[in-house]
Amino acid sequence: MWKQIAILAMCATALVACRTTPEQPRQVRIHDIQGAEHISPLNGKAVKGVPGVVTAVADQGFWLQDPTADADPQTSEGIYVFTRHKPKVKAGDALLVAGTVSEHRPGGDANLTITEITKAQYRRAGVGQPPAAIQLAQPAAHIRADKPGNVEKSTKFDPKQNAMDYAETTEGMLVTGGPCTVVGAGRGKQLVVLPHAHTANRTERGGVLQTTENTNTARLHISDMRDTLPKADVGAELPEVTGVQHYSAGNYVIVPTKKLRPTPSNLARETASGNDSTLNIASFNLNNLDPHDSPAAFQTRAETIVNALKTPDIVVVEEVQDNSGPRDDKTVAANHTYEALIAAIASAGGPQYEFRQVNPRDNADGGEGGGNIRTGFLFRPDRVSFTDRPSERPATVVTSGDAIQLSASPGRIAPEDKAFEDSRKPLVGEFVFEGRTVFVTGVHFRARGADDPLYGRQQPPKMGSSEDREKQAALVNGFTQKILAADPQAAVVVVGDVNDSDHSPTAKQLGKGMIALSEQLPENDRYSFIYQGNGQLLDQAFISPAISAEYDIVHLNAEFSSQSSDHDPQLIKISL
């Protein structure tokens, strides 16, 4: 009896031991870990004896590449080894690495993952020679041409048809491309270049435009979080870019292993021409200006208004912060911000401006927390007059016989509508120029920060903010149409930061029954903002059919490493 119990106990103990014995590490090579897919077939598995040569070193790890490639071009031979602390290795070290295969998702759930070896242990296996960098080919025109869905769950991996899949085949490897032109100005940590072989959608000034059909997949994003990249303007030239292919902040990026020495661009900042016979209206995103910014910040913006825009009669300004800036202390007034800018304009040789605006509720209009950004009007009282009709209620269109006016001037359009929740409210005001009333609406629609990245795991990317902007545009256009229904000859201007392209449903909705001034410009000049190297026309202007205007985007910010704003201002010269 006792012998039987003992035997059963031994069997039970052996069974438990069998169940809890950890899986033995597998001896594999890097291409076995990477596989021909976005998620490693060995994700979560322990590996050992992974051979390779160090190609680059970061603060918390290093990149390892196997100099002996397999026969499959769809599997990468490089990988990032995460060590948590500064590793004691250098480029050229031959290593054998052990650890756990992991998929690290940097910067948000919408992004792709980086295949890594974590919990890493390594030993030297001599001194090797870093493999030659792979020459990057021209990728497919589409980021992902397959059926919609999560690419990490897709059973199809096609580097020839999908630019995203092609980039994955070199994740962690030494790559090289060039010669290249800078299309996204460098400011220390980021620089975007475009190989000369890519000739589509180019601007006359050296950049490249994003279109509905083409996101310019050949762009190379150069990233160095140590802030050591050279400053370079659009149009600067690089003979080559060599580094390790990595993924960060929604993009495949190249971490350079060679010092970049761009040939400087000869691009000049544009200036507008003045015209005293027209009503001149500009819009200018002030990029979170507040009284605690440096005197130089106010000076550069003032000089833009005075010297580049030639002191417009009206300036619709966006991203004006309150008197305490981003300090979240319940402050909503912004008079000190406006007054400091107006004083800087006068110091730069400009005329005396006045301002009009409506304070938002605290932390109700989006933007930087505590900053309470808003849209406002600067205007020259020597050239135009403002019809003051202050009211805390939303602006409406009031008619009496042939007369038409706003119930509130300045006033906000539909501020309580859900479409404008946590977003800037449109500001409308009545101006008089040479005896004629002009209705001006300044807009700054919902930002796109919460949208999926172009190179995210969901394809096509989900752009939820576009639906909100379309609703916002419909409300503004509805207000505009009420003015025009009462007086078809009314002078109406809608201008500002639309945060969407000129071919978007937002722009089409906002421009119903109006004239879209961007159509005056050549296609390759329609941009006011550059995001990740892609030129986009986020700032737009519309006028009513009864008036005519000349229009220009004044390129003086977006293409340059030194900026007074990340947006180019726009200028409208209206003939009444």
Give tens-digit pLDDT for 524-572: 999 999 999 999 999 999 999 999 999 999 999 999 999 999 999 999 9
Q: Are 166 and 140 in contact (CB under 8 A)?
A: yes
Cα three-residue angle 372-373-375, rounded to 5 degrees: 135
Task: Provide, rounded to the nearest whole percent, the portion of the chain with pLDDT above 90.
Answer: 88
| pTM higher than the cut 0.75 | yes
Q: Count of alpha carbons within 13 Å of 507, Cβ hemisphere only?
A: 21
Q: Are 250 and 239 in contact (CB under 8 A)?
A: no
What number is the average pLDDT over the span 2-7? Answer: 42
CATH number for 279-575 (one of 1.10.390.10, 3.60.10.10, 3.60.70.12, 1.10.3720.10): it is 3.60.10.10
For the chain, what is the radius of gyration of the CA atoms?
A: 29
- As a dihedral over the C-alpha atoms of residue 274, residue 275, residue 279, residue 285, rounded to 10 degrees, the angle is -10
* pLDDT number for residue 2: 41
Structure tokens at 527: 């941009």
Place of tokens 């006359």: 204
* pLDDT number for residue 539: 98
What number is the average pLDDT over the span 373-380? Answer: 98
What whole-number distance in Å separates Cα of residue 16 and Cα of residue 260? 58
Assess whether pLDDT exceeds 80 at residue 55: yes
Assess whether pLDDT exceeds 50 at residue 192: yes
* Strand (E) or helix (H) holding 114: strand 114-127
* Strand (E) or helix (H) holding 48: strand 46-58
Contacts of 478 (CB under 8 A, 6+ apart): none
Burial 111-145 (b: 16+ CB within 10 A, else e): bbbbbbbbebebeeeeebebbebbebeebbebbbe
Q: Which of 160-174, 225-239, 303-317 is predicted with the least confidence, judged by mean pLDDT?
A: 225-239
Phi-psi region of 513 (alpha: psi -120 to 50; beta: other; left: phi over 0): left
Which of 186-190, 248-252, 475-479 shows the highest mean pLDDT? 475-479
Assess whether pLDDT exceeds 70 at residue 49: yes
CA 223, 225, 228, 231 torsion: positive or negative? positive
- What are the φ/ψ torsions at residue 254 (nearest 5 degrees)? -105, 120
> Is 135 strand, coil or helix?
strand
CA 84, 87, 92, 96 torsion: positive or negative? negative
* pLDDT number for residue 21: 58
Q: Count of alpha carbons within 13 Å of 535, Cβ hemisphere only?
A: 27
- What are the φ/ψ torsions at residue 345 (nearest 5 degrees)? -65, -45
Mean pLDDT of the chain: 94
What whole-number distance in Å separates Cα of residue 217 and Cα of residue 214? 8
pLDDT band at 22 (very low <50, low <70, confident <90, very high): low
Assess whether pLDDT exceeds 70 at residue 16: no
Count, residues in the chain: 576
What number is the average pLDDT over the span 115-122? Answer: 98
Place of tokens 């052996």: 14
Structure tokens at 306: 């005075």
On the 0-12 / 13-18 / 19+ scale of CB atoms within 10 A, 24 is: exposed
What whole-number distance in Å separates Cα of residue 391 and Cα of residue 395? 8
Structure tokens at 340: 């400091």
Q: Which of 67-71, 318-322, 475-479 is predicted with the least confidence, judged by mean pLDDT?
A: 67-71
Phi-psi region of 422 (alpha: psi -120 to 50; beta: other; left: phi over 0): left
Q: Classify domain 26-127 by CATH number.
A: 2.40.50.140
Instruction: Give me the residue spans of the domains in the chain.
Output: 26-127, 134-256, 279-575
* Strand (E) or helix (H) holding 342: helix 335-347
DSSP-derived secondary structure for 344-379? HHHHTT----EEE--PPPTT-S-SSTTT--EEEEEE
For residue 16, how far is the Cα from the chain centroid? 54
What number is the average pLDDT over the span 325-351? Answer: 98
pLDDT band at 212 (very low <50, low <70, confident <90, very high): confident
- 397 closest CA partner among 476, 477, 479: 479
* pLDDT number for residue 130: 82
Task: Provide, rounded to the nearest whole percent, the portion of the chain with pLDDT above 70.
Answer: 96
Assess whether pLDDT exceeds 60 at residue 13: no
What number is the average pLDDT over the span 393-410? Answer: 94
